[in-house]
């Protein structure tokens, strides 16, 4: 058994020596970084310095809330894109409405011109009627039909005129 123990101890020493030599070799190859906490922030994060560069370390809760904010931001960006599309559509409708208003203004101007011309024609006709009334003999027409001779011709001449018109129709 002593031989086994010495062999076991020897193997253990060799393994330990191999590990130590490996660590010494790797220590020369690896560059160790020095990290130190510069400041603890009120929100639970830290400002740290590693090899002369300053970084901000955050907690898992902060990372989670920032992820939530990012997803909300993505939704808001989509909403903004939809709103911008709606604004563009409404601007197009506004331009069409402005064009319709311009057309309506032109139509109103044309109609106003037509109205002015019609009113001028009406005024001219009214003036002509007033002037024409001065040429109509007032009262003389009434006295013409009340004349006894015209009444006599009207009474006796009417049947003759009707018979003559009827005979002419039958001939044709």
pLDDT per residue over 10-28, tens digit each? 888 888 888 888 877 776 6
pTM above 0.85, yes or no: no
| More confident site: 123 or 146 | 123
Complete DSSP assignment for the chain: -HHHHHHHHHHHHHHHHHHHHHHHHHHHHS----EEEEEE-TTS-EEEEETTEEEEE--HHHHHHHHHHHHHHHHHHHHHHHHHHHHHHHHHHHHHHHHHHHHHHHHHHHHHHHHHHHHHHHHHHHHHHHHHHTTS-TTHHHHHHT-HHHHHHHHHHHHHHHHHHHHHHHH-
pLDDT at 137: 60
């Amino acid at each position: 058994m002593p031989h086994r123990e010495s062999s076991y101890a020897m193997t253990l020493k060799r393994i330990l020596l191999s590990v130590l030599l490996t660590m010494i070799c790797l220590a020369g190859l690896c560059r160790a970084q020095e990290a130190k906490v510069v400041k603890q922030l009120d929100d639970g994060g830290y400002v740290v310095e590693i090899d002369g560069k300053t970084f901000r370390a955050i907690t898992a809760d902060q990372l989670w809330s920032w992820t939530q904010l990012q997803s909300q931001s993505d939704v808001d960006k989509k909403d903004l894109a939809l709103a911008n599309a709606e604004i563009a559509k409404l601007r197009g409708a506004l331009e069409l409405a402005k064009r319709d208003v311009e057309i309506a203004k032109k139509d109103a101007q044309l109609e106003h011109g037509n109205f002015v011309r019609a009113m001028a024609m009406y005024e001219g006709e009214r003036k002509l009627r007033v002037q024409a009334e001065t040429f109509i003999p007032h009262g003389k027409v009434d006295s013409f039909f009340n004349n006894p001779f015209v009444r006599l011709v009207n009474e006796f001449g009417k049947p003759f005129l009707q018979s003559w018109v009827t005979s002419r129709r039958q001939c044709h």
